[in-house]
Structure 1
Amino acid sequence: MTDAWLQALAQSPWALPAMAALVVGDAFLVVIPGEAAVTTLGALAVAEGSPPLAAVIVVAAAAALTGDLGCYLVGRTAGLERWRWMRGPRAAAALGGARSALDRRGATLMFTARFIPFARLAVNLVAGASRMPMRRYLLLAAPAASAWALYQALLGAAVAALIPGGTVAAVIASVVVAIVLGAAADAIVARAQRRRAPDA
């Protein structure tokens, strides 16, 4: 990765569509780096002046909502046990926890889960499988997707503004910060679930 390569990426007409594709894919496969793509373009918006930060946020929000809606529709049409991976212990625990939490505090869960990869997938599938009305789903998912996009893009922009050393340093630092914050959120959620397990 070099400054020249990142400058070319920032100016490319494919930067935003590629980011959108990664964000949509990330809704289904958590190993796809959707967060890193948004954070990277947020950093480039500050370090290189392109693509525009507002465009990064709007495209990321639309892509996040599209991916989440896709998961919701999969849950609604296929249910929660159609594929073998859904019946594994980790998936079964995540889906069961999401179902229980969605019944108790749907709005909070939909918003919070958008920021946690495995939780996001589980909650969207369960929302569809439990036949949450589409209107209610969209009223919860759209603000969550917008907040997520705003957070990821502004995180990249803020780190790029604070880190000296050029574009490469800004992009690497912003992605590392995003990964660390994401891992911390995952660890906090896992710890909270372990604490609740004996009480269940």
Structure 2
Amino acid sequence: MNQLQDLVTGAAGSPWVYFALLGVCIVDAFFPPVPSESVIAALAAIGSSTGKPSVWLLILAAAVGAIIGDNLAYTIGRAIGTDRFAWMRKPKIRRAFDWARGMLDKRAALLVITGRYIPVGRIAVNMTAGATEYPRRKFVPLTVIGGVSWAVYSVAIASAFGRWLRDQPLLAAVIGIACAIVLGFLVDRIVRHFFPSTGEEESGDTRHDDSRREDEAGERAEARRGQGS
């Protein structure tokens, strides 16, 4: 166990780790299987408990990677749309795209910033923004705000566990990864609770319209019975 811990902490102390994190954050912005939150959590937990890698440079690498990646996703969305590839047509991804499309016109700033915190959500939001030609001059500043705040948040959460488990950097990394996954899930649930998908809104509207039509039909039937008597 100690040998594995030494191997992991030694690799995390390499200066190349910042470039690796930069690349992971860029790719994660438009390719869901790449887990940037898990990588950040592991490196930040190790960095805060051993001193390497630098948590400040981790924040910088993660923020720059997120900003570049989000803008690449926007460009991809503008070029190919949101249904070109098979993975885009999977039910979960499709629902995310539909949700993003329905929300962009209403709360674009809030959506782009909070979408950065949701692994699938950020892809849907950014590619949909490009596909619907949301103005880039407005989009770029929002990705800067979202990318910087997300990087600070991700590193800070994992660093807290790294300081708490200073003598167990590998355990701190594992706990940091678990917390990143749980917090990402909670953010996803909270956003979807307060800002439901278009499909849910339409379903609610449909139920309301059906109920109203039933009431009107009942009133007309009563009126006819009254006239007949």
Aligned partners of 2:49 and 2:165 also within 8 Å: no
Q: 1:161 to 1:97 in 2, by over 3 A?
A: same
Judging changes above 3 Å, is the alpha-carbon distance between structure 1 residues 161 and 120 closer, same or farther for their aligned structure 2 residues?
A: same
Q: Equivalent residue for 1:45?
A: 47
The answer to whether residue 126 in structure 2 is matched with residue 121 in structure 1 is no
Secondary structure in structure 1 of the residue aligned to 2:70: helix
Matched, 1:198 2:221: no
AA aligned opposite 1:198: S
**Superposed displacement of residue 183, structure 1:** 2.3
Q: Which whole-Å deviations, capped at 9, do the CAs of 1:46-67 have from their partners, x for residues lacking one?
A: 1110121110001100001111
AA paired with 1:80? T
Per the TM alignment, residue 155 of structure 1 is displaced from its structure 2 partner at its CA by: 0.9
Counterpart position of 1:133: 135
- Paired amino acid for 1:108: L
Query: Residue 24 of structure 1 contacts residue 63 of structure 1 at CA under 8 Å; is this kept in 2?
Result: yes
Task: Report deviation, 1:70.
Answer: 0.9
8 Å contact 2:49–2:166 — kept in the other structure? no
CA distance in 1, matches of 2:94, 2:69: 21
Structure 1 match to 2:215: none
Indicate the structure (1 or 2) with the bigger Cα radius of gyration. Answer: 2
Matched-pair contact (CA < 8 Å) for 2:49–2:167:
no
2:32 is paired with a residue whose SS is coil
State the alpha-carbon separation in 2 of the partners of residues 161 and 174 from structure 1.
11
Per-residue CA distance 1:22-79 (angstroms, 9 max, x = gap) = 2112112222110011111211221110121110001100001111111100011112
Structure 2 residue runs of 5 or longer lacking an equivalent are: 206-229
Normalising by structure 1, report the TM-score: 0.91
Q: Does 1:178 align with 2:171?
A: no
1:10–1:48 contact (8 Å) kept in structure 2: no
Q: Distance in 2 between matches of 1:53 and 1:126?
A: 32
Q: Is the 8 A contact 1:163 1:173 kept in 2?
A: no
Distance 2:169 2:133 in 1: 46
Q: 1:157 aligns with which of 153, 156, 159?
A: 159
1:13 aligns with 2:15: yes
Partner residue in 2 for 1:34: 36
Q: Percent identity?
A: 32
Per the alignment, residue 62 of structure 1 pairs with 64
Give the count of matched residue pairs. 200
In structure 2, relative to structure 1, the CA distance for the partners of 1:55 and 1:164 (3 Å cut) is closer
Equivalents in 2 of 1:89, 1:10: separation in Å? 37
CA distance in 2, matches of 1:89, 1:174: 30
Name the CA shift for 1:97/1:161 in 2 (closer, same or farther; >3 Å): same
Matches within 5 A, 1:88-127: 88-127=90-129
Deviation at 1:6, TM superposition (A): 2.2
TM-score by length of 2: 0.80
Give the direction of change, closer, same or farther, for the CA distance of 1:31–1:87 in structure 2 (3 Å limit).
closer
Instruction: Give the whole-Å Cα distance in 1 for the aligned partners of 2:93 and 2:39.
Output: 26
User: In structure 2, how many angstroms separate the alpha carbons of the residues matched to 1:13 and 1:182?
Assistant: 28
Cα RMSD for the two superposed structures: 2.0
